[in-house]
Amino acid sequence: MHQGFKPVYDKNSKILILGSFPSVKSREVGFYYGHKQNRFWKMLSQVFNEKIKDDIPSKISFLHKYHIALYDVIIESDLTGSSDSALEKSSLKTGAFAPLLPPNTKVEKILCNGKTAYNLFIENYTTDIPVYCMPSTSPANPRYNFETWKNTILH
């Protein structure tokens, strides 16, 4: 079984971004969206017009600065590759989201990075907080849309 990452958040987090499960490359790197081709960190850099250094402490500091919490819906899986389509056939365990939400944080919206994260989250968790299905930042997604991300994060 492969383990996901611990959540990144603090009491001031206002936006929770949920992925599905770390890719093979992310698991090698040891942090979220570790594949150089993934648009995630570039997208956040563009949204906030600020360069993000490539080391994990800098990324965590950036997330805290902009009140963004980061986690994956799945925290354990026997997935061997990186394709979300394989997750549906794998053995998986979803995370505990209550610690990431009010009253522990100030989270007011949840952005799911792709349909798999969105579907798994809404199937396994109920909340009054708005949940958005965002276009996946994966390089495999031809329908990625920066403006959708920017508008949802900033408004």
pLDDT at 125: 94
C-alpha 147/C-alpha 150 separation (Å) is 5
Q: How far apart are the first and last CA of the chain?
A: 38
Q: How confident is the model at residue 132 (pLDDT cuts 50, 70, 90)?
A: very high
The stretch 22-44 carries a mean pLDDT of 94
pLDDT at 54: 94
pLDDT > 90? residue 31: yes
pLDDT > 80? residue 77: no
Q: Could you tell me the pTM of the whole model? A: 0.92
Distances in whole angstroms, Cα of residue 47 to Cα of each of 39, 50, 52, 83, 147: 12, 8, 11, 26, 9
The per-residue b/e assignment along 122-138, b for 16 or more CB within 10 angstroms, e otherwise, is eeebeeeeebebbbbbb
Residue 145 is part of which domain span? 2-154
pLDDT at 82: 52
pLDDT > 80? residue 1: no
The stretch 62-74 carries a mean pLDDT of 97
Q: How confident is the model at residue 136 (pLDDT cuts 50, 70, 90)?
A: very high
C-alpha 45/C-alpha 14 separation (Å) is 18
Please state the domain count of the chain. 1
7 with 100: CB under 8 angstroms? yes
C-alpha 131/C-alpha 122 separation (Å) is 8
Q: Which residue has the tokens 């995630």?
A: 40
pLDDT > 80? residue 71: yes
What CATH number did the domain enclosing 49 receive?
3.40.470.10
CA angle 37, 39, 41 (to 5 degrees): 110
